[in-house]
Amino acid sequence: MAVTGLGLVTPAGVGVEESWTGICAGSGLAARDEVLTGLPVDFSCWVPDFDAAALLGPRLTWRIDRFTQLAMVAARQAVADAALDPEEWDAPRVAVVLGVAAAGGDTWTDAYRHLAEGRVNAISPLTLPRSLPNMVAGEVSMDLRATGPCLTTSTACASGATALGIARDLLRSGSCDIAIAGGTDCARVPMGSAAFYRLGALSQRRDDPAAASRPFDVDRDGFVLSEGAGVVVLERPEHARARGARIRGYLAGYGASADGYHATSPRPDGDGARRAVEAALADAGSEPAEVHHVNAHGTSTPQGDRIEANMLGTLFGSGTPPVTSVKGAIGHTLGAAGAVEAAVTVLSLERQLVPPTANLNQLDEGLAIDVVTKAPRAHRMTGALSNAFGFGGQNAVLFFRAA
C-alpha cells in the first residue's frame, strides 16, 4: 500500500521534520521527570513544548487524555501531509486504525486519587470516555470526520505496527480507500514507572538519564519510559495516483506471530520474531537479500536486544544490513513505538539515510549485527524492515519499499 502522509509527535519534537532531526542528532533525550518525583526511577522521555490547548483548542484538550491528544495532533499532521481534506473526502471510505498499549494513565491517576480520598463525586464523569483504549480511534474519527471502519489494536509494544498491518488488510479487502493508521501512548505516570520498575524492565541509570537508553550496548540495563504518537496515511497505489498524491513509500509486507512462551520474556531462540520477519517478507514477495536496513525493536533490555540481534544475525548471516534503534534517542513509546518507527523507516528509505542509535558506545560482544552509531549513515536501500515485539509474545513486522 502507498504511504501518502506521515505525522509524528515524539520527544525529539512535534512534527515530522522536528522528530527526524532530533533522532538523527544521535543523543539521548531522557531527563528527570517531575511527574515521577520520589520514585525509584524518576526519569523519562517526554514531548517537549507540547501545548495541546494551542494545537487542539482548550475544550477538546480538556475532554481527552494525553495519549489521545498526541494521536490527534499526529493524525492531523499526516492527513495534511497527504494533501487530503476531510471536508471533501468520502467519509465512509476512510478508516481509522490506531494502536495503544497503556491508554489513559493520566485520567486513571486522577480518578484513583479521588477514590482513595473518599471523594467519589470528585471523579470526573469523563473518566471512562477519556481513558478507554478504543476512544483514541473514536476521537480521531470524529475529529477528522472519518466514518469508515474504526478500530483500536492492542498488542502491547507491537500495537502501532499491528495497526498498520490491519489497516493494510482493510485496504486490500476493499473495505476502505484511505486508512489513517498508527499508534500512541503515554505511560510516564507514577503507576507506569512503578510497575515497570517492579518488573525489572527499566534502566536505573539515575545519575545520567540521557545515557540510560542504550540499545545493543554492552552496558544496557533496561528501557526508558516515553510518550509519543506516529500516524501514517495509507492508500491503494492506484487510488493515490488517481488523485495525484505524493507517494512517500510503500508498505509492501506485514507479518505477525505469537511466541507462545512467556508473559513478558521473548522466546530465547527468537523463533516468534523470526517467523514474523519471514511472514512480512513472504507477504511482500521478497527475500532477505532485499532488506537493506532494519529499524529494530531494540528496547535496551539485556535479554530482548540479544535475542533480536541473534535472530537478525541468523536470518541475514554475516552480511546483516545496517541496523538502528530510535529508542536510544526517544526512549520506548510503548504502543506508539511500532508506528513511530515505521514512519522513521519510510523517511530513511526516502532520504537514503539511516539514523544513529544513541548511546551505543560499545556493541555487546557476540552480537553479530551492523548497528549505526554516532551519526546518520548514507546508505543505498530500496527495502527496509521495521520490527515491533510486545509482552505476551506478540510480534509484528512491517516491510517497506522505497517509492
Write down the pLDDT at residue 388: 98
pLDDT at 254 over 80: yes
Count CA atoms closer than 13 A to 275's CA, side-chain side.
Answer: 13
Residue range 83-113, pLDDT digits in tens: 999 999 999 999 999 999 988 888 988 898 9
Say whether 253-401 and 2-243 share the same fold: yes
Angle at 358 between CA 356 and CA 362, to 5 degrees: 100
Residue 318 has pLDDT above 80, yes or no: no
Max distance between CA atoms of the chain, in angstroms, equals: 63
Residues written for the chain? 403
Domain 2-243 carries which CATH code?
Answer: 3.40.47.10
Domain ranges of the chain: 2-243, 253-401
What is the pLDDT at residue 230?
98
CATH topology of domain 253-401: Peroxisomal Thiolase; Chain A, domain 1 (3.40.47)
Output b/e per residue, 209-223; b: 16+ Cβ within 10 A: bbbbbbbbbeebbbb
One-letter amino acid at 362 equals Q
| pLDDT tier at 315, thresholds 50, 70, 90 | very high
- Which residues have CB under 8 Å from 379's CB, separation 6+? 292, 293, 322, 352, 353, 354
* Positions marked catalytic: 157, 297, 332
Give the tens place of pLDDT for each residue, 337-355. Answer: 999 999 999 999 999 999 9
Residue 320: pLDDT band with limits 50, 70, 90: confident
Tell me the angle at which helices 66-81 and 135-144 cross, rounded to the nearest 10 degrees.
40
